[in-house]
């Protein structure tokens, strides 16, 4: 299976982000707790350069708690401020503001020494599809989206969105899409729903997901699909065929594939993280 997915507006999004970067104090980079590395855009570092960054590991309720802790430590070691959140919860607002103040503490102290009047923190939210950017934006600004007034950027057709008195968000340009040549990353994005199902073969994605869970969470799929220890030794399509029969779907492998993929996406197989820290980070497990 080869996944090709290179939307044409990526270059435009990159250019617009570069133009708007000068108007913000900090960038919120949103990643998926189930794939903290694979859900990042490799172009991002060049675009953002030295701009202060807060990496928000979203959907923490769906990710493996132990892996999330390791990835938090990893991003921190990379020099980024990091926070694991669930954008569905209101408490993330206070957490994000507090961490932003921490990241900008030197700038705020410098402004104070210069007699510059304190103002709200200005931020930009960036993330690939399906990491929860819209959910976070809605959570931060609430249902009422208000333009905050005559500030840099507004005259260029950009809108500042208010989040209480301490945070303002610059309405972001088109999202950055991932550009991947590693098919493993494509499969991970497909399994979590970041790629349209029409672009891939669902049975391939189901088989990939089953292989992953067999390796890292065997007890979960054993229970979910009534499998034996011997069944777990089956590889590829053989395991999918066995599960199809156990689900009472006879030879309807497409339906079984859809069931497996939806089970994984909807969290019916529990929390999981596809990007394993010990394999993806390039760091030894003990270093975290």
Please indicate if the annotation marks 134 as binding a ligand: yes
Please indicate if the annotation marks 130 as binding a ligand: yes
Please indicate if the annotation marks 131 as binding a ligand: yes
Please indicate if the annotation marks 157 as binding a ligand: no
Please indicate if the annotation marks 58 as binding a ligand: yes
Which tokens belong to 271?
A: 């929390």
Contacts of 5 (CB under 8 A, 6+ apart): 177, 178, 180, 186, 195, 199
Please indicate if the annotation marks 226 as binding a ligand: no
Please indicate if the annotation marks 174 as binding a ligand: yes
Q: What angle do CA 278, 284, 286 make, to 5 degrees?
A: 100
Sign of the Cα torsion 280, 283, 285, 287 reads: negative
CB atoms within 10 A of CB 243: 24
Please indicate if the annotation marks 61 as binding a ligand: yes
Please indicate if the annotation marks 282 as binding a ligand: no
The separation between the first and the last C-alpha atoms of the chain, rounded to the nearest angstrom, is 34
Q: Residue 112: how many CA atoms within 13 Å on its side-chain side?
A: 6
Question: Cα dist. 113→80, 110, 116, 117 in Å?
Answer: 25, 5, 8, 10
The annotated binding site for GTP is made up of 58-61, 130-135, 174
The annotated binding site is made up of 58-61, 130-135, 174
């Amino acid at each position: 299976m080869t996944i090709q997915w290179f939307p044409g507006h990526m270059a435009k999004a990159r250019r617009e982000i570069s133009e708007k970067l000068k108007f913000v104090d900090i960038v919120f980079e949103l990643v998926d707790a189930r794939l903290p590395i694979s859900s990042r855009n490799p172009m991002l570092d060049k675009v953002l350069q030295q701009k202060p960054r807060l990496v928000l590991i979203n959907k923490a309720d769906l990710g493996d708690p132990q892996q999330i802790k390791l990835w938090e430590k990893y991003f921190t070691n990379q020099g980024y401020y990091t926070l694991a959140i669930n954008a569905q919860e209101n408490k993330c607002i206070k957490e994000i503001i507090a961490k932003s103040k921490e990241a900008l503490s030197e700038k705020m102290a410098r402004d104070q020494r210069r007699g510059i009047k304190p103002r709200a923190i200005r931020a930009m939210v960036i993330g690939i599809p399906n990491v929860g950017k819209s959910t976070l934006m809605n959570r931060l600004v609430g249902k009422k989206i208000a333009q905050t007034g005559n500030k840099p950027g507004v005259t260029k057709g950009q809108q500042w969105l208010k989040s209480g008195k301490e945070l303002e968000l610059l309405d972001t340009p088109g999202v950055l899409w991932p550009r991947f040549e590693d098919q493993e990353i494509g499969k991970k994005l497909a399994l979590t729903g970041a790629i349209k199902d029409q672009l891939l073969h669902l049975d391939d994605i189901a088989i990939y997901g089953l292989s992953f869970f067999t390796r890292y969470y065997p007890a979960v799929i054993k229970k979910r699909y009534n499998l034996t220890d011997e069944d777990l030794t089956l590889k590829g399509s053989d395991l999918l065929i066995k599960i199809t029969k156990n689900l009472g779907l006879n030879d309807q492998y497409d339906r079984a594939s859809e069931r497996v993929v939806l089970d994984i996406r909807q969290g019916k197989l529990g929390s999981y993280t596809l990007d394993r820290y010990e394999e993806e980070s390039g760091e030894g497990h003990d270093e975290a």
